[in-house]
Structure 1
Amino acid sequence: MLRTVNRVALGLVGLVLVVVGGAVLAVGLGVAPPSWWIHDGPHDVLLSTAERTRWRDETWWWPSVLAVLTVLVLLALWWLVSILRRRRLGEVLVDTGDGAGALLRGRALESVLAADASRLDGVSHAHAHLTGRRDAPEAHVRLLLEPHVDPGDTLDHLTTESLTHARESAALKALPAEVRMRTAKHRAERVS
């Protein structure tokens, strides 16, 4: 959902910038603007001298303008970085031993790792996703544990079984993992 909102918002901002920029360029090249347009012709300015000097004597005006512009630039940069940052690894490079290598879909390895972890004793649900580079992936595993399970034993089994199996299957030198565990909460039931 967040990806869709980002794409729609980015598309709208881009469309507005293209339309306004194209209209200003057209007026600058001599196309007659409509009567409601902010510019009258190619030699018109965006802000007149009176509009530019109107708030000059106010001490709060320029710091406020600079603060608002700084916040807008920082928000735009944060948005750009959040869109460009890859949250999930698309593919993993598997060393086949012949020097060529093969590509394994990241989601396939994630689903196998999650399925393997969910088969551990006392794990009611497991979720895994991969980040990092395709030749050095990192696993992020979330486990939902049953109330009677010892987290230390579960972590040991996850490390020695599921993560080791995934690392060896993909022929990786290392598969660092971040594991987050939660205990499932059961509602009390009335016994009659």
Structure 2
Amino acid sequence: MSRMRNATNRTVLFCLAAALLGAGAVLASATGPVRDRLPAGWPRLGTDRVWLDGDELGRWRDEGWWTPAVIAALSVAVLLLAALVLVQVRRGLLRELALGQPEVTLSGPALAAALAERAGAIDGVDDARVRLRGNARRLRARITLTLRPDTSPDAVLHRLAHGAVAEARAATAPRALDADVRLTVRSHRARRLR
């Protein structure tokens, strides 16, 4: 994930959290148990405060534009949030990669499958999973390897770096390919005897 995208996500989440926290604090200060425990200098809402009385609500209902406007605004907000989530999910995955000529492309899932197959063929590797992310200039491969309990991680990493990752870098040149490798060990559980 790029730094700009990460900073944007954090900023949006912080603003949303601050708005929700502020609204919750205002609403909670109107209740008796919370209002009585607030420090003396803090503003308090009165217990008799009515947010929207019957007459005010009746005037809003008489306006013909009010209900459709609220529904339209909420619908636009939901659609924008859904589009933001969809962009966040789809943006990072590598679909296709142009190789020099416009008509020659490399499929991202095919490259990930080939890299996973080569990584899974290394001695001591029980399972290999690869996800490719990035853009046309810089690629990132997230490789998750499950090792057998008696396997040396140093040897596996050396073979992976000089074998499968080196071949993937040659295939995607001149683009940079960064590899994040996560190693897990398959636990060997003792069999239960009855």
The TM-score with structure 2 as length reference comes to 0.55
Runs (4+) of structure 1 moved beyond 6 Å? Answer: none
In the superposition, relative to structure 1, how do residues 148 and 77 fare at CA in structure 2: closer, same or farther (>3 Å)?
farther
* Cα shift at 1:116: 0.3
In the superposition, relative to structure 1, how do residues 77 and 162 fare at CA in structure 2: closer, same or farther (>3 Å)?
same
Any idea what the Cα deviations from partners look like across 1:99-142, whole Å, max 9, x if unmatched?
55621110100000000000011100000011110342211111
* 1:72-91 equivalence runs, <5 A: 79-85=82-88, 86=90, 87-91=92-96
Q: Does the aligned pair in 2 maintain the 1:92–1:137 contact within 8 Å? A: no
Counterpart Cα distance in 2 of 1:130 and 1:49: 59
Counterpart in 1 of 2:56?
Answer: 50
Counterpart in 2 of 1:122?
Answer: 124
In the superposition, relative to structure 1, how do residues 185 and 77 fare at CA in structure 2: closer, same or farther (>3 Å)?
farther
Counterpart Cα distance in 2 of 1:103 and 1:129: 18
Report the RMSD for the aligned CA atoms in angstroms.
Answer: 3.0
**Is 2:178 the counterpart of 1:176?**
yes
* 1:129-168 equivalence runs, <5 A: 129-168=131-170
In the superposition, relative to structure 1, how do residues 93 and 137 fare at CA in structure 2: closer, same or farther (>3 Å)?
farther
Counterpart in 1 of 2:99?
Answer: 94
**Long gaps (5+) in structure 1:** 1-47, 55-68
Any idea what the Cα deviations from partners look like across 1:48-71, whole Å, max 9, x if unmatched?
8531789xxxxxxxxxxxxxx9xx
Question: 139-148 or 151-160: which moved more?
Answer: 151-160
Counting matched residue pairs gives 125
Q: Does the aligned pair in 2 maintain the 1:93–1:135 contact within 8 Å? A: no
In the superposition, relative to structure 1, how do residues 140 and 126 fare at CA in structure 2: closer, same or farther (>3 Å)?
same
**Percent identity (aligned):** 29
Query: 1 or 2, which has the higher helix percentage?
Result: 2
Q: Does the aligned pair in 2 maintain the 1:91–1:104 contact within 8 Å? A: yes
